[in-house]
Amino acid sequence: MSDSMPTTEAPFDPGNDPVNRFELFLLGDGEKKITEIPDTSIPSSSIFTLNKEDHTLGNLIRSRLLKYPFVLFAAYRIPHPLFPTVELRVQTNGEVTPRNAVIQACRDLVSDLGVLSREFTKEWELRKMAGDEEAEK
Predicted confidence (pLDDT) per residue in 13-23, tens digit? 655 655 567 77
Q: What is the domain partition of the chain in residue ranges?
A: 17-136
- List CB contacts of 58: < 8 A, sequence separation 6 or more: 50, 76, 77, 78, 86, 88
Q: Residue 30's pLDDT band (boundaries 50, 70, 90)?
A: confident
Kindly report the CATH number that applies to the domain delimited by 17-136. Answer: 3.30.1360.10
Q: Round to whole Å and give the CA distance between 123 and 113.
A: 15
Which pLDDT does position 76 carry in this prediction? 96
For residues 120 and 9, the model is more confident at 120
Q: Any residues with CB less than 8 A from the CB of 98 and at least 6 apart, and which?
A: 36, 38, 44, 45, 46, 48, 90, 91, 92
Q: What is the pLDDT of residues 76-128, one digit of tens each?
A: 999 998 888 999 999 999 999 999 999 999 999 999 999 999 999 999 999 98
Rounded Cα–Cα distance for residues 44 and 32 (Å): 23
- Between these two residues, 39 and 1, which has the higher pLDDT value? 39
Supply the pTM of this predicted model: 0.76
Dump pLDDT digits (tens) for 54-74.
999 999 999 999 999 999 999
